[in-house]
Structure 1
Amino acid sequence: MAESLLTSSALFPVSEQRVDSPSFPLSSNIKRQVQRFWQKSPCDSWFTNEPRGTVAFYRSLDEHRYKVHPRLQSAIGFEKTRGLRVLEIGCGCGSEAERFVRAGAYYTAVDLTNAALSITRRRFQLANLKGRFVQGDAENLPFPDGSFDFVYSHGVLHHTPDTPRAIREVHRVLSPGGRAVVMLYYRDSFNYYVNLGIVRRLRAYLLRTALGIKLSRAIFGETEQDLRRHAELIRGDPGSYVEMQNLLNRNTDGPDNPLSQVFSRASAQRMFWQFKSLKTEIMFWNPNWLPGIGKVLPRSVEDRLASHWGWHLWIYAQKRHREFTGLNEIPYQSISLSTARRQFLPRLSSTEMAGGVRTTSTVG
């Protein structure tokens, strides 16, 4: 496997180049469930019938991914990562990983599962690309402070129990001035309030019968296997299934998905308070959310729906070039110089003031 690793030991110490077994604590039962689920089903791997690990497998996945997410590549800005140390948290099947390396980035993947790392490593071998693959926990990233210039994570950090902690880890491993691009599920979306909160809740009653399963397959486009699993879960505990958190878990990434979370723009701002700048954008509309008409809508209409009520909250953040000393635990807010003096400078007596005490103001 040595040919699949970057050769610069200054950038990537040998001891960190490859970790195939977890050397980190899984601090909760839910996190172990998350690991088991994604170990069995690496993200996107279910979208193709091509043999896993073949050129056709990766080509098929990429064609599907960038058809469903047409703005994904431009949102990331691969061309701006040339020469940068890039960390991807949750690599899936390596679609973005390959594009980072082809753009000239020094690439590292960290994933909770060995399955995703193995699939992405195999992609790199087939394409003769170089990268680093580390198994680790997003809430306890196994890298020193300031190790990366760019951190990317698409649809991953809403599956870890303590997402705010994971965001703090993103900030920690970024170098001063480094950038992060993170996608999380969006709470204030059509999918959350209408599709999950109303349609999927009503569908739970439909799935109790064989006829209901057939109708659901025709309407929602899900596989019969998934629908039968939903039906099994409903029969086991119908009251629990229709609770909003369980509807969210079961109807986002598969019926056995143990954990998904949703976030608003305001909650994203709170989680990213340590960063210098923050921009958010809403993307992604699934035609299946509007059975019957969703698949015939013009792209312009779909884009408009996505920008207002889409499912993906994209967050673009930049770390400060210089941190405020002593204020790391205080959420960043814009304040006036007079307010800063009152709150953060020591109170001086009239004698000290007369003595000509000099103060220095540093802007990060």
Structure 2
Amino acid sequence: MNKIDTKNMRNIEPPNTEDRPTLTSDIRDFWSRNVNAERIMGNTVSLEQRGGEKYFEELEAQRYRSHYHLKPWINSMDKGKSVLELGCGIGMDTFSMAKNGLNVTALDLTEVGVRTARNRFEKSKFNGSFLAGNAEMLPIKDNQFDYVYSFGVLHHAANTEKTIREVYRVLSPGGTAKIMLYHRHSINELVHRITKVPFEEKDELCPVVRRFTVNEVKTMFNQFSNIHLQLEYVYGEGYGKLFSLTPKLLYKFLSKHWGWHIMITARK
């Protein structure tokens, strides 16, 4: 574990490591140790806790309260269509999509994510397919899905551009990609730079945390048609009272101009 020296600003993110042979395995190990969203429950979650209904209720309540724009985005997908989620984690969004009547396939780099998501589906008698794999090399044939969905994941990949090419490949003609990537020109980026607080975890550097400009996103998605970008989410509950006390109209204004989330909808 890489402990943080907060005296050095560069330590809010690791140095450029794209050529490191172990990068993908380092990413997998990081997210296996730091199961996404569990930190709101404390530093440790037992195997008995993980996957219980209270576990999911607590995490989902926080996720959809803080990420106010996420449920409407999920709900915009048409019932009965097929969707591939890349980076499903413990499967909160996967479960929401299945409840909405979508035919879900979910992939995650970590075994713990796939196992936790699959177990919930089995307990709930929901249908879904789950794969452990790398979004840069999807074990899926061309032109398979009506939607490919990924929220806050592909900017953590060893090669984000390669994942976007894979998204395009597995989408059916006329299919829609719904992807969220982090925004470099955002208030959240500025706050992290000023406070020297690392991205993602406070006491361990995430191996890859890319942030993109709007123009960089447009370039990555240039093979798609009808690309729509929208900025959302200035900051969440991790900012404590600042989040709850910010007037809604001000929050929405700041989000639309300097939001942390680039919400991308692109048609093949």
- Alpha-carbon distance, 1:285 to partner: 2.0
Residues 109 and 296 of structure 1: is their aligned pair in 2 closer, same or farther, counting only changes over 3 Å? same
Paired position in structure 2 for 1:187? 184
Residues 162 and 43 of structure 1: is their aligned pair in 2 closer, same or farther, counting only changes over 3 Å? same
- 3-state secondary structure, aligned to 2:36: coil
- Are positions 1:29 and 2:22 aligned together? yes
Paired position in structure 2 for 1:197? 193
Whether the 8 Å contact between 1:154 and 1:184 is mirrored in structure 2 is: yes
Whether the 8 Å contact between 1:157 and 1:163 is mirrored in structure 2 is: yes
List alignment gaps of at least 5 residues for structure 2: 1-19
> RMSD across aligned C-alpha pairs, in angstroms?
1.9
More helix per residue: 1
Residues 100 and 289 of structure 1: is their aligned pair in 2 closer, same or farther, counting only changes over 3 Å? closer
Paired position in structure 1 for 2:17? none
Paired position in structure 2 for 1:317? 266
- Alpha-carbon distance, 1:199 to partner: 2.3
In 1, Cα distance between equivalents of 2:87 and 2:237: 26
Tell me the alpha carbon deviations over residues 60-83 of structure 1, each in whole angstroms, 9 at most, x when there is no partner.
1111101101121112335x3311
**TM-score normalised by the chain length of structure 1:** 0.63
Whether the 8 Å contact between 2:75 and 2:100 is mirrored in structure 1 is: no
- Alpha-carbon distance, 1:126 to partner: 2.4
- Structure with larger Rg: 1
- 3-state secondary structure, aligned to 2:222: coil
- Are positions 1:251 and 2:199 aligned together? yes
- 3-state secondary structure, aligned to 1:87: strand
Mapping for residues 1-364 of structure 1, pairs under 5 Å: 28-48=21-41, 51-78=49-76, 80-192=77-189, 194-200=190-196, 250-256=198-204, 257-286=206-235, 293-319=242-268
**TM-score normalised by the chain length of structure 2:** 0.85
Tell me the alpha carbon deviations over residues 143-199 of structure 1, each in whole angstroms, 9 at most, x when there is no partner.
00001110000010000121111000000000000001000110110111x212222
List alignment gaps of at least 5 residues for structure 1: 1-26, 201-246, 320-364
- Alpha-carbon distance, 1:291 to partner: 7.6
- Alpha-carbon distance, 1:267 to partner: 0.5
- Alpha-carbon distance, 1:263 to partner: 0.5
Q: Percent identity?
A: 33
- 3-state secondary structure, aligned to 1:91: coil
Residues 52 and 135 of structure 1: is their aligned pair in 2 closer, same or farther, counting only changes over 3 Å? same
- 3-state secondary structure, aligned to 1:81: coil
More strand per residue: 2
- Alpha-carbon distance, 1:298 to partner: 1.7
Higher relative contact order (CA 8 A, sep 6+): 2
In 1, Cα distance between equivalents of 2:242 and 2:34: 30
In 2, Cα distance between equivalents of 1:65 and 1:289: 12
Tell me the alpha carbon deviations over residues 280-305 of structure 1, each in whole angstroms, 9 at most, x when there is no partner.
01111226787875531222221221
Number of positions where the alignment pairs a residue of Structure 1 with one of Structure 2: 243
